[in-house]
Structure 1
């Protein structure tokens, strides 16, 4: 290498300054390379950059659209849920009212049935009382006739006369009971 430097120094050329032809060839090569890069490589990069930008913006738009749809669906869901709750409350209130009405109807029917049974029992009691009174009158009449016959000393076999005696006797008993009750 020392020989090359010395040879160049002997020719009068400075080793730090490049040769003019080298500068010219390097400049033309650089210009051709620059032309190729600008003409073919840069448009490819620009195209790829534009496609990526469109894809990103498209995805952003899709995401915004999906978010808007999700928000709308959420609002619709909340509205449906609110409507369903309101409907459930209305059905519940209607069922309560219907239950209260049914309960009132059943109470009314039970009261009416109770009144009917009580009235029927009262009629039956009155009929049985009347039958008992009639039966007792006949027995008391028979006993009173026998007793009166024993007291008087003669038999009272005449039915009309016996009936009059019994009626008079029972009338007196009733008057005494009525007077005692006052």
Structure 2
């Protein structure tokens, strides 16, 4: 499996302490992260820079203000390649889509990343398939044989690695000063 970027340790949350949200049973990562000395305007610039990296060109991140909090919502895409053992190691492409909400205040931000969906491109007459990631964890994707079980394990591994990378990149971007706020 391969996808761009390097994985780095995640400070706030990894799959091992993942929250499976009760209502829709969707994986949700959330944390409040302090950023000492960062103004709200600086955090907004950092969040916008991160959103530009992960948001597809066809979508625009949405910014809103709520009392003393700036909120940025976006949809991120992370393409990746995986091998399927029962097809002689043939490599396939897919994309992991997710939704992110960042709530920004001076000195801290809160993130919520959820709505993870695998997008498998269609071929010929077959349309693109979208499968919630949770299907590979909750028993909804029932393997018919050993190859199907290995496929489920491959998709779980892809998700774990990509989700860790998404969170690591988000946190790294939010730690990285952009320059003077208000000069964008």
- Common fold: TM-score over 0.5: no
Relative to the length of structure 2, the TM-score reads 0.19
Structure with the greater alpha carbon radius of gyration: 1
Which structure shows the higher strand fraction? 2
Structure number with higher helix proportion: 1
**TM value normalised by structure 1:** 0.19
Of structures 1 and 2, the one with the larger relative CO (CA 8 A, separation 6+) is 2
